[in-house]
């Protein structure tokens, strides 16, 4: 057992005090705080003299995880205790029953859930096969059925592991980076944990694209230094106008992260110098509101004050107050012109900012106070949706992964019904997709649409802000050619289901599905893996069994194995995969 240096002991004490200061704000009383103290003493005594990965004192890791849990996620004392104890069973002679005896059933249950996730992820594999990653993803999501706090604590654990990747051998580092980008970053995004998501993204970029990370970070610092006086000059008149209106508020600067800049460069084909939204300003007001309507009214009042001072771009206004994002994000964004410079202004209440930064835990806190209606909240609906999917024995891991990733990563637009109701739908969706999103019967009987009062065909692609009216006929029914242009899974599944007549089902029983392997190759790019996965999910008429993708520099090669019931399905896979940007060649390599 190695002795700790005085410098290390001082650091442990410093981290402990910081944790207790943060926990004191979250604990309801002294007894709860004493449980956090007890958990620290318990794990500290059990790991006395132990070093993590042969370097830093082990106790610093559970302390860091517990601090993330309370500071960035705002969880309570049971979660703080579980974060401190999360590795104890694996790293010491203590058993789960010991934790149950000392801290109760709930803390023990959280620790047990975290141990199960660790067991899944510690399997000795290179994590390259998407089927393996998908199974891991499903196992992690299954913890939602027990207690979502298990997943939140695991995200904190993963963030601290990412912070110390330098201590790991290369193969282990690559495995963690792959899991982080594929599983944990999308989940952090979906659960509204912006700070955790952003830090993980930046760490991923720093290790996978170190030169780009350094260059972009340096560029952001230089741009912000040059823009300092310009930002102050822009903020001052806004501050004066809001104070004159009697509002209580603060103004913060929001700086684009290196990963966000890099992602924009990769996906939009621009240079760093062509990124003009490096910074934005965020107005957070603290005025007490009794209802959400009062809160929204203040947001719109601030919007009217600012847009009376500066010209603004109506097409760049984003109203996530009336229609929050699916991860619970609420904010009103507008882009105004100040002496030729376009600057984004974000307007939100303290409640909205807490939820935007700390996600689902902040949402729960306000919900307990009766401020958030669960009927209207996308976060609750998403959790219910995932739990329903997990309980369906017919949904395999790859299908689940596709459903969740499509929900997490796709961009949505907002359109309106003739009555003025705002609806969100997948970017690139058609009028027919919109019809199916309202009701399957409307989709099946649709014959045309009116977009902004103009008659258009069903394959017309919608744009944000469109007013859409669906025209139907009582005798209408789906057409096979609809499958060639619908974008949403709901529309495609319903159309395919319509053509699965009893006669066709019988013929398919006589003709067993054939196993088909397709080989793909082309130029690698960011999000390619997710695009291929979403495409495979949309081709749901066949059974996807295996998917592997390997990249070497800028080139990728991979293969997909699935069961096709007929030649049409096989041709549909080839045709659809070839349409993905970056995929240059799709060939049939094997058929059984």
Q: Is residue 380 part of a domain?
A: no
Q: How far is CA 495 from the centre of its chain?
A: 29
Which residue in 148, 149, 209, 219 sits closest to 181, CA to CA?
209
Q: Is residue 537 part of a domain?
A: yes
DSSP, res 527: T
The 3-class SS string of 202-216 reads HHHHHHHCHHHHHHH
Question: What is the rounded CA–CA span in Å between residue 26 and residue 74?
Answer: 7
Decide: 153 and 69 in contact? Cβ < 8 Å.
yes
Q: Is residue 383 part of a domain?
A: no
Run of H or E including 252? strand 249-255
Does one domain contain both 137 and 32?
A: yes
Helix axis angle, 194-208 relative to 210-244, nearest 10°?
150
What was the pLDDT predicted at 347?
96
Which residue in 529, 441, 395, 425 sits closest to 487, CA to CA?
425
Among 158, 193, 228, give the residue marking a domain's end: 193
Q: Is residue 200 part of a domain?
A: no
Contacts of 250 (CB under 8 A, 6+ apart): 283, 284, 286
69 to 199, 279, 311, 511: CA distances (angstroms)? 15, 28, 42, 54
Question: What is the rounded CA–CA span in Å between residue 490 and residue 463?
Answer: 19
Which residue in 360, 328, 330, 344 sits closest to 260, CA to CA?
344
Q: Domain total for the chain?
A: 4
Contacts of 174 (CB under 8 A, 6+ apart): none
Contacts of 366 (CB under 8 A, 6+ apart): 351, 354, 355, 372
Which residue in 367, 229, 247 sits closest to 297, CA to CA?
247
Question: What is the rounded CA–CA span in Å between residue 365 and residue 26?
Answer: 11
CATH number of 126's domain: 1.10.3210.10
Among 464, 498, 532, give the residue marking a domain's end: 498
CATH number of 247's domain: 3.30.460.10
Does one domain contain both 485 and 516?
A: no
Contacts of 2 (CB under 8 A, 6+ apart): 49, 51
Does one domain contain both 523 and 483?
A: no
Q: Is residue 368 part of a domain?
A: no
264 to 184, 189, 192, 409: CA distances (angstroms)? 21, 17, 21, 15
Does one domain contain both 171 and 27?
A: yes
User: If you write DSSP's letter for every residue of 28-54 in order, what string do you get?
Assistant: SSHHHHHHHHHHHHHHHHHTTT-EETT
Question: What is the rounded CA–CA span in Å between residue 130 and residue 178?
Answer: 11
- Strands (DSSP E) contained in 466-565 are 468-472, 514-523, 543-552, 555-564
Residue 515 belongs to what domain range? 510-591
The two tokens of residue 307 are 């847009």
Number of Cβ atoms within 10 Å of the Cβ of 419: 7
What was the pLDDT predicted at 134?
59
Does one domain contain both 477 and 445?
A: yes
Q: Is residue 105 part of a domain?
A: yes
Decide: 189 and 407 in contact? Cβ < 8 Å.
no
Does one domain contain both 11 and 153?
A: yes
Question: What is the rounded CA–CA span in Å between residue 138 and residue 133?
Answer: 9
Does one domain contain both 334 and 220?
A: yes
What was the pLDDT predicted at 49?
79
Decide: 169 and 429 in contact? Cβ < 8 Å.
no
The two tokens of residue 442 are 């409307």
What was the pLDDT predicted at 401?
53
Question: What is the rounded CA–CA span in Å between residue 175 and residue 159?
Answer: 14
- Strands (DSSP E) contained in 419-477 are 422-426, 446-451, 454-456, 468-472
What are phi and psi for residue 547, nearest 5 degrees?
A: -150, 125
Does one domain contain both 216 and 103?
A: no
Rg (C-alpha) for the chain, rounded Å, is 26
Does one domain contain both 39 and 125?
A: yes
Decide: 512 and 462 in contact? Cβ < 8 Å.
no
Does one domain contain both 16 and 119?
A: yes
CATH number of 578's domain: 3.30.70.260
Q: What is the pTM of this model?
A: 0.68
Question: What is the rounded CA–CA span in Å between residue 506 and residue 221?
Answer: 66
Decide: 275 and 261 in contact? Cβ < 8 Å.
yes
Among 144, 159, 193, give the residue marking a domain's end: 193
Question: 341-349 and 412-416 as β-strands: parallel, antiparallel, unpaired?
Answer: unpaired
The two tokens of residue 88 are 């104890």
Q: Is residue 504 part of a domain?
A: no
Q: Is residue 375 part of a domain?
A: no
Mean pLDDT, consecutive 10-residue segments, the chain of 592 residues?
Answer: 81 95 92 96 89 83 96 91 92 89 93 83 53 61 69 93 90 87 84 90 95 95 88 93 94 92 88 87 89 89 94 85 78 90 92 82 61 52 60 53 54 76 81 92 90 88 87 86 88 86 44 75 74 64 60 75 72 80 79 52
Does one domain contain both 418 and 566?
A: no
What was the pLDDT predicted at 377?
55
Does one domain contain both 457 and 520?
A: no
What was the pLDDT predicted at 153?
92
Run of H or E including 66? helix 60-71
Beta bridge partners of 448: 471
User: If you write DSSP's letter for every residue of 363-408 in order, what string do you get?
Assistant: HHHHHHTT-S-TTT-HHHHHHHHHHHHHT-TT--HHHHHHHHHHHH
Question: What is the rounded CA–CA span in Å between residue 391 and residue 373?
Answer: 25
């Amino acid at each position: 057992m190695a002795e700790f240096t005085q410098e290390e002991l001082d650091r442990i004490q410093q981290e402990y005090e910081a944790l207790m200061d943060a926990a004191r704000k979250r604990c309801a009383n002294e007894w709860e705080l004493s449980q956090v103290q007890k958990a620290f003493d318990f794990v500290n005594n059990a790991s006395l003299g132990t070093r993590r990965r042969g370097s830093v004192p082990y106790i610093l890791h559970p302390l860091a995880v517990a601090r993330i849990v309370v500071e960035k996620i705002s969880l309570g004392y049971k979660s703080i205790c579980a974060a401190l104890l999360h590795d104890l069973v694996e790293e010491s002679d203590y058993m789960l029953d010991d934790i149950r005896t000392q801290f109760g059933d709930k803390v023990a249950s959280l620790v047990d859930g975290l141990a199960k996730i660790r067991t899944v992820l510690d399997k000795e594999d290179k994590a390259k096969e998407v089927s393996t990653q998908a199974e891991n993803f499903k196992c992690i999501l299954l913890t939602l059925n027990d207690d979502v706090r298990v997943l939140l604590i695991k995200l904190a654990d993963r963030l601290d592991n990412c912070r110390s990747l330098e201590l790991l051998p290369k193969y282990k580092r690559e495995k963690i980076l792959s899991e982080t980008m594929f599983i944990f970053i999308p989940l952090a995004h979906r659960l509204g944990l912006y700070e955790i998501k952003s830090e993980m993204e930046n760490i991923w970029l720093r290790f996978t694209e170190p030169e780009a990370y350094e260059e972009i970070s340096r560029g952001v610092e230089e741009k912000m230094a040059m823009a300092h006086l310009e930002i102050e000059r822009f903020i001052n008149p806004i501050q004066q106008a809001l104070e004159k209106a009697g509002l209580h508020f603060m103004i913060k600067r929001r700086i684009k992260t290196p990963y966000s800049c890099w992602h924009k460069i990769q996906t939009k084909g621009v240079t760093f110098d062509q990124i003009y939204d490096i910074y934005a300003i965020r107005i957070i007001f603290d005025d007490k509101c009794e209802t959400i309507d009062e809160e929204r009214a203040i947001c719109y009042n601030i919007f009217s004050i600012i847009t009376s001072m500066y010209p603004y771009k109506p097409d760049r206004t984003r109203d996530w107050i009336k229609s929050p994002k699916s991860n619970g994000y609420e904010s009103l964004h507008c882009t105004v012109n100040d002496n030729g410079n376009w600057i984004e202004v974000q307007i939100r209440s303290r409640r909205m900012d807490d939820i935007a930064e700390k996600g689902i835990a902040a949402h729960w806190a306000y919900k307990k106070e009766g401020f958030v209606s669960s009927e209207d909240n996308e976060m609750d609906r998403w959790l219910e949706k995932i739990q329903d999917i997990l309980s369906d024995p017919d949904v395999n891991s790859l299908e689940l992964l596709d459903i969740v990733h499509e929900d997490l990563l796709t961009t949505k637009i907002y359109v309106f019904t003739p009555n003025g109701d705002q609806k969100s739908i997948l970017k690139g969706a058609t009028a027919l997709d919109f019809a199916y999103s309202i009701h399957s019967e409307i989709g099946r009987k649709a014959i045309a649409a009116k977009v902004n009062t103009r008659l258009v065909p069903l394959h017309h692609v919608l744009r944000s802000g469109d007013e859409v009216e669906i025209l139907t006929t009582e005798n209408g029914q789906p057409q096979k050619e609809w499958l060639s242009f619908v974008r949403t899974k709901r529309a495609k599944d319903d159309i395919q289901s319509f053509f699965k007549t009893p006669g066709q089902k019988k013929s398919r029983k006589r003709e067993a599905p054939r196993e088909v392997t397709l080989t793909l190759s082309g130029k690698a790019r960011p999000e390619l893996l997710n695009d291929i996965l979403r495409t495979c999910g949309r081709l749901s008429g066949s059974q996807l069994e295996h998917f592997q993708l390997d990249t070497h520099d800028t080139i990728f090669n991979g293969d997909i194995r699935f069961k096709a019931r007929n030649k049409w399905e096989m041709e549909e896979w080839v045709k659809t995969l070839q349409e993905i940007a970056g995929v240059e060649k799709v060939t049939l390599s094997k058929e059984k």
